Structure 1
């Protein structure tokens, strides 16, 4: 722990999180052992096989309900330069889905807004999972019918040693692209997209010389669906929520004067956005 403390900013916050993770892991391991003892199990291999098989069947059944076809969309994303097009092509065939990001802009040498293919795949598959089988516990079986492609050397499949720290600034558009394209195949299953987040990075030293370092997060609000209003202050595809006023003021020398919803920002409709 001492080595970690010497290599992070705000070690009093980081070490507390690490202790919590270690404790949670130990508690979880103990409960798994108790579960296996109760049912006389030597390992979890057979159980995990069944769980994944059932999850795969549920997802394939859901995909099978969608109309076969090719569904396209294009989003213009702004970032460090002028707006650029991010096209998407989704092919549904039987119980499988292929998502192709051919035409994605090339990777950047500066700005760190590139994404690895693994991160792009994660954002893509998670969006489809939430849309098609939201009530099925997530595991490997949920994703075996998905194929994700992005051109090598592009913003969504960058090559080493390109920087990727701000990859979410690019991959954030992937779920929106998927939802807009899939609206043509399954309009009742998609939601309007999330209002993009904003954040502030605060760093400095207080009068006592103590370093403070915090990341304040504000969500734009979740989009409405065909079944319900969007949630205010929440985001998709992350589960991040707004930083609380109390936490922000405790961690950094700031004073929040007002925090409120913007009237009518959810827009009128059968269901409003968050």
Structure 2
């Protein structure tokens, strides 16, 4: 491989910003083309994808504003491709597909498409993207949890060329078509990824032609160094020390009586930080493990970008590139849930990553009270609905349901929204009814349990009830049915999640489901209802302004009794007012009692 040596020439500030804007625009255009051209709703609507440009050393030069788990993982894919590349060499016109979790991939349904970027006959970088696919021929349609090994996850690609020197590998395309329950969508979505990557490669070459290879890569190196300086500066503001937090996952999808420990130790030393997951559970016999290179490390990187370089709270917007990863070390013992030994399955890996970030935040709370938030739902509800049409063809639908953030230092936790590692959009209900035999019976803010009380309350989760109209199968991956999102600085814990199966033709029958289950056979009019966890509260509830408590009562987020018992606020719901004198007296009494 002909590598570009690092250029030390300084680029003037104006040119630097122009090139930065060009790189970021290319990444955004790649992401836009991908989701606009895709056919499956998980990409087209939920935008479960990522795209970017990379140099020959696999450094991220720019990334789309998509799902963090996708973007941060692509360097791992590139390193895995380097180990496994068909022919052992890149040629102009090559297109590679890759998803092997023991060669850098985030997990098997996230197929990466990578196109080499040649400039004046030399390999100078890569354009790549990843996207979550509806079905790659795994043991159960769409998603898997309770399977014995990685080979049950479906088609495994490692450095596989779909095009070689511009010519299609027809045997491989036929293999893909014949090994997926949703072959039409799979092939069309891969073609959208190819179009996106080829566009990125073309735009990258145009940028090099316009400003010159030396100038573009000098600018890219300066931007990476700048991102590194900024995150080192932020890390340096944290007092040195070891900060520890622990939590528990519900189960591994098979052994229901065995909770799984997640232990996070954050070691801060000067301007560097280590996330050590030693003490977390051993790897599981199911797919509930996390690929180390493609997911565990990526989650840690994303967690610190959120804490230290948040665009809404930072004075300057720091570019999203490789520089922000450099000061962060991630450690997980081989054979643990966060670093499994092959051939362990590792497809159902998302909720563990979200809990890791949640615990990083909890560990650092004592020394970063103005930057952290209370416990979020820190899960993901990923459901796969499927069935067989009269024609014999499968229909498969993947859905990501929202959660809720914890209360924040200056505001309540946002309601019904993906959080922490997740950044997917919801799927329009009209799209659901148009394409598959399902109807959404209910989709609203959760009203069966309150959010965590606090000066700033936790966010409220979603409740969604999906009814199948024909015999079907459901696989569901979620978490936090046993451990509620944590409150902080006097705030109360939120509420755990819940999942049920009911049928309107059998009123009174409710089947309580575990947070994760595989290949459940359901019948016509069976309804899966998911209640996502509510976020924890931030700060003492007695410090919440009475007017805000009144608003929550009037909005139905808080009962009159809870307003009195937890917040010390006496509300007259008929008059829609607060009895200020009675409230002051009650709060004084509650403070003395505490």
Give TM-score scaled by structure 2 length: 0.43
In the alignment, structure 1 residue 104 sits paired with structure 2 residue 286: no
Provide the C-alpha distance between the structure 1 equivalents of 2:215 and 2:383, rounded to a whole number of angstroms: 46
Partner of 2:387: 204
Whether the 8 Å contact between 1:101 and 1:151 is mirrored in structure 2 is: yes
Q: Does 2:267 align with 1:91? A: yes
Answer 1 or 2: which has greater strand percent: 2
> Is the contact between residue 353 and residue 421 of structure 2 (CA under 8 Å) also seen in structure 1?
no
Aligned to 2:80: none
Per-residue CA deviation, residues 152-204 of structure 1 (Å, 9 max, x unaligned), is: 21111111111111222433321111111011221222223332332332121
Change (3 A) 1:60 1:265: same
Contact 2:236 2:270 in 1 (8 A): yes
Q: Does 2:408 align with 1:225?
A: yes
Map 1:1-274 → 2, pairs under 5 A: 1-41=173-213, 44-80=216-252, 81=256, 82-108=258-284, 110-118=285-293, 119-135=295-311, 136-195=318-377, 196-228=379-411, 229-263=413-447, 265-272=450-457, 273-274=459-460
Q: Are the aligned partners of 2:351 and 2:380 in contact in 1 as well (CA < 8 Å)?
A: no
**Higher alpha-carbon Rg:** 2
Unaligned residue ranges in structure 2 (runs of 5+): 1-172, 312-317, 461-594
Per the TM alignment, residue 265 of structure 1 is displaced from its structure 2 partner at its CA by 4.3
Within 2, Cα distance between the matches of 1:185 and 1:48?
34
1:160–1:3: structure 2 CA closer, same or farther, 3 Å change rule?
Answer: closer
Distance in 1, Cα, partners of 2:232 & 2:240: 13
Name the CA distance, whole Å, in 2 between partners of 1:24 and 1:86: 37
Local SS of the residue matching 2:386: strand
Q: Deviations over 1:36-60 (max 9, x none)?
A: 3332445743222111111100110
Shift of 1:23: 2.1
CA contact (8 A) 1:79 1:169 kept: no
Aligned partner of residue 89 in structure 1, secondary structure: strand
The 3 A distance-change label for structure 1 pair 40 and 84 is closer
User: What SS class does the counterpart of residue 260 from structure 1 fall into?
Assistant: strand
Query: With structure 1 as the length reference, what TM-score do the two structures score?
Result: 0.89
Secondary structure in 2 matching 1:256: strand
Secondary structure at the counterpart of residue 182 of structure 1: helix
CA contact (8 A) 2:245 2:264 kept: yes
Q: Is the 8 A contact 2:350 2:380 kept in 1?
A: no
Distance 2:174 2:343 in 1: 30
Question: Residues 130, 103 of structure 1: CA spacing in aligned structure 2 closer, same or farther, 3 A cutoff?
Answer: same
> Residues 214, 45 of structure 1: CA spacing in aligned structure 2 closer, same or farther, 3 A cutoff?
same
- CA–CA distance in 2 between the matches of 1:187 and 1:270? 14
The 2-side partners of 1:32 and 1:170 are apart by 36
Q: CA deviation at 1:89?
A: 1.3
CA–CA distance in 1 between the matches of 2:193 and 2:364? 38
Contact 1:62–1:132, Cα closer than 8 Å, also in 2 = yes
Q: Measure how far apart 1:2 and its partner are.
A: 4.2
- Closer, same or farther: CA 179–258 of 1 in aligned 2, 3 Å: same
Q: 1:42 to 1:8 in 2, by over 3 A?
A: farther
Q: Could you say what the CA RMSD is over the residues aligned between the two structures, in angstroms?
A: 2.2
Q: 1:194 to 1:247 in 2, by over 3 A?
A: farther
CA contact (8 A) 2:182 2:396 kept: yes
